[in-house]
Structure 1
Amino acid sequence: MKRQITYSRIVRWMLSVFFLLSLLSGCANKQDEVEADQFFKQWKTTAEKSKGYSPQSRRRTIKLPPRVLTVKEAEKQKSDKPLPTKKITMRMHETDVTVLLRALTRAVGLNLILNENVKGTVNIDIKDASWDQVFVSILNTQGLSYAWDGDIIRIVTHEDINRDLERLTTEQKIKTQKKDVELVEPLITQVVAVEFSDAKKLQENLSMFLSQNEKDQPIGSVMVDEHTNSLIIQAIYSDLERMLPLILKLDKPTPQILIEAHIVEASKKVAMELGVQWGGLYNSGDLWITPGANSSGVLDNTLSAGGIDPTSGNVFNSGGSGDILDKTSATGLTLGFALEDIGGSILAAQLSALQAEGKLNILSSPSITTLDNQEATIESGTEVPYQTVEDDEVNVEYKDAVLSLVVTPHVIGGNILKLNIKTKKDELDFANAVRGQPAINTKRANTNVLLYDGQTTVIAGLSKENSSKVNTGVPWLKDIPILGYLFKGTEDEDTLEELLIFITPHILGERFGDDMDESLMDDSSSESTPES
């Protein structure tokens, strides 16, 4: 009896220990699972937030170097030097013109040189007249002229002017090339760092702003230094005044766009359940999808719930009012997904739920970030080998069989995007194989579409037909051993699979940080070298 009690206690003790160890083990596993869940949750949150930003625009200046005076401008300043405007009163009768001119210049402190051919008499009676008007009037009445030589006024006759012109003409013929060099405005070299734009494209645009000489050849040049992505501009001062502000306007950061795509393969029936019906409209409760219309644009309309205009192709969410989007289709294979702020997470959740039910297959969910007006390419596939025979020599070459998506976004007005979308799907066709090498069937869809930031469009119509054999029979009876063969059979079934590509663009916001102001000084960003 005592032994039975002892054995009973031992068994209870062992069961208690086993239960305690199991409990501790379960808690440890649960703790590990909690830690693992927290770890993956942290990285999942980090991955979702790490979508990047658009670069922030900043104020930037490029200072022009001091202007170098040209020979023409210097000569112009000499002849255009202003005369004194002092008020004078004077009365003289039958006075020699040389005496009068000396008296006038002495009154205002000017130096005077008279030619020996300057002769004549003058009668003058003026009161409170401007000195320059009196001086020029006297010269005009005597057929004389004047020229500045520094601070000296030289009085010349018309014969002297003609003689000087003949001398200058002779010198010009002898020293034409030298004179051309002296009279041309000097070139200034300016180095400008290009930050965001393509320096080569800027070079092409800016070259059109260079002045031309008499032979229609550009004066100066615009070169690109690829190492520093800088422009080396050699131009006259007036051209630089036009070109540098253009660089500041063109060399600005453009928004970055995150392109999210969901590539889904589904049967025709499931595609209709999603709201897609080739050649018409289909209502699946809260989602509307329409084939591409012949017009494009964003219409900000409010329609009553459940309303639709089949003549125009406008569609909307039947659960309420929303913005209407018309799409432009180049091939008839584009479908517009008209949803108001659907959001990438909502779409992904809905597709994942349908995949869990076995109604569709999500081939991939790629995402890529690109700049405004820059092409983004997503491509997945394989290389197919095939043989070629040339001169009795067999060579193996490869062709690509891929599913590619090319998107070029353009931001309009800050929250609207114009997408140029190109899709291509290659399929291996073993039914039409040649010498065991499958043919490649290619389907393409090209379109332009307008979307709001965060809205989704669908590319559809890239379908294929699959043939397979399926087992049929009378339920229950077909499963009876041996006798079941009498109640079952096989049938050929043709299924049509749709390839749907959901595309959702997001405009990434700017990242606001430290002050980004910067002034490009001449010492660091430009080099001014007058050249004659």
Structure 2
Amino acid sequence: MVGFFLRFSSFYINLFRLVILASYLPAVVYCANFSASFRDADIKEFINTVSKNINKTIIIDPKVQGVVSVRSFEQLDKDKYYQFFLNVLDVYGYTVVEMPNNILKVIPAKRAKNSVVPLQKNAEETQGDELINRVFKLKYILAKNLAPLLRQLNDNTESGSIIHYDPSNVVLITGRAAVVNRLYSIISTLDQPGDAEIELYQLNHAIAADIIKLVNQVINPVNTTKKDLFNAGKVIADERTNSVLISGDSHTRKRAIKIIKRLDHQQDSYGTTKVIYMKYAQASKLLDVLNGVSSGVQSDNAKKIAGKSNARNVSIKAYDQTNALVITAHPKIMKELDQVIEKLDVRRAQVLVEAIIVETQNGEGLNLGIQWANKFHGGVNFIQNPDSIRANSSSENPLPMVISGLTAGFYKGNWDGLFTALATNSNNNILATPSIVTLDNMEAEFNVGQEVPVLTSTQTTATDKVYNSISRQSVGVMLKVKPQINQGDSVLLEIRQEVSSVADRSDANANNLGSVFNKRVVNNAVLVKSGETVVVGGLLDKKLNKVINKVPFLGDIPLIGRLFQQRKEKIEKSNLILFIRPTILRETSDYSKATADKYTEHNNLYSIDIKEPLEVLSEKIKNDEFNSLKNDIVEFYEMIGVKK
């Protein structure tokens, strides 16, 4: 028993010594090596075995099937063992896609490019047959030009693909890491700056701006407007010195200069002739403007245009029969003249000018028994009795009104109703209602009257024969209007109105001095909005009328007939008032609307008996139009002044 105890104690003492000794020995690193030997093994068993050895979870696609026979005659470390695994799968048409969390996925190679393949940024990160994505940013060459070459150098497996993206000039390559890294080396070698330089070529005859368009189209048949052409040649014009800048490689520059030299030659001194037909403008009226423009263009381009003589050979003629311009000039000047003509030959707006010229007797012609209100927008009235203006415009029976002095204002109301109201009063004498359409800034004239013979001189011959010299003078109603359309819808109207007549014979021939003419003239300029009515009045006229009342037969007896007569002298006063309304016509729809309105106005005018009293007339007019007319007229009364 004692011997057994001693042997057991000796065993533990030796074991303790070995532990102490081992603590002083150097550490030895354990490294696992693998040998692969599979014969007619199911591919899934092969994958599962590798999964255990490399300590990774591997997901197998259901389409992965087959039998594997492979053998390794040397010991492989973990990295080489994994590459051996990838090579075997590649031979059988499968590939491995790395997933997060230490997971691998084995799928058919043809489906690999549609899977989530990891993006590698560094070429040294991955080697071998692992499937990766890499993006290459090109600096000097175009991606669309390099991509076809890379596809030819690719291994052409179903798992690989090469795609280029032009806006960013990048190439995206999907494939085995070894192939992708090899293509990267090729890209780095090819993506190098070329021998692009810039040369300056001074033109002697041609124009730089015209030359560059032709040359760029020849040396760059592709889209030359993109900014990412890199080594592609490009020609830029320097109009200040009439020279061109050429960039690109030596071959491109030589080719561009050769083309420029052929184009830079002396042109015919007679220039180019062109016939331009006017659409709206009058050709003869554009001559002064175009000649002035061509003179300025010639002086600016005299140093740039070849054969400086043909820079001054500019001829501009108008052919009235076809309303065309015939221009002979250098192409540079011709181009600028074309631009000027295009901006001048535009459709001008027109103005429809409507007017009512009315003469009121004794100031009562505008007493229509109704009142104007709420439609006036301002004006001025020069009256003799300011106290006669009534403050209360709501009276149902307004007193007779007398217009005295100059009246002017703006009225915005029913034009047809205004005319009808004026025509229904027997104290009004409507002299004319002109309606004229004229171009912007063109004078229009309306004239209704007679040519009256006027004795200008008398000569008596030696044989007592009398010879009279006679001239003719126009009398009647004349209206001249010149509209000018301003910014917006305002119109500046220059108005000249004249009403003239021949005086009574008793007054005219009192001293045998010839005829006497009564004339009332107003010259005015006013700014008015389109569709608004201007009211101008105050052209007063006094006339002495002699009235003889007599007893029939007895009043005609010589000498004593005056006893049976009653003679009276009556002074009649009349006031001439002009209502004028401009309407801007810009579009075709405006003309159609104006025509329809005039047609409706004509029908309404002849469908109403103007002799009917206003009470009957009001029943024929719609209530809203009649009430609006009443409000319109009363405000005009408030403005022009009243006499009781």
* Larger relative strand fraction: 1
Larger Rg: 2
TM-score, normalised to structure 2, is: 0.40
Structure with the bigger RCO (C-alpha within 8 Å, sep 6+) is 1
TM-score, normalised to structure 1, is: 0.47
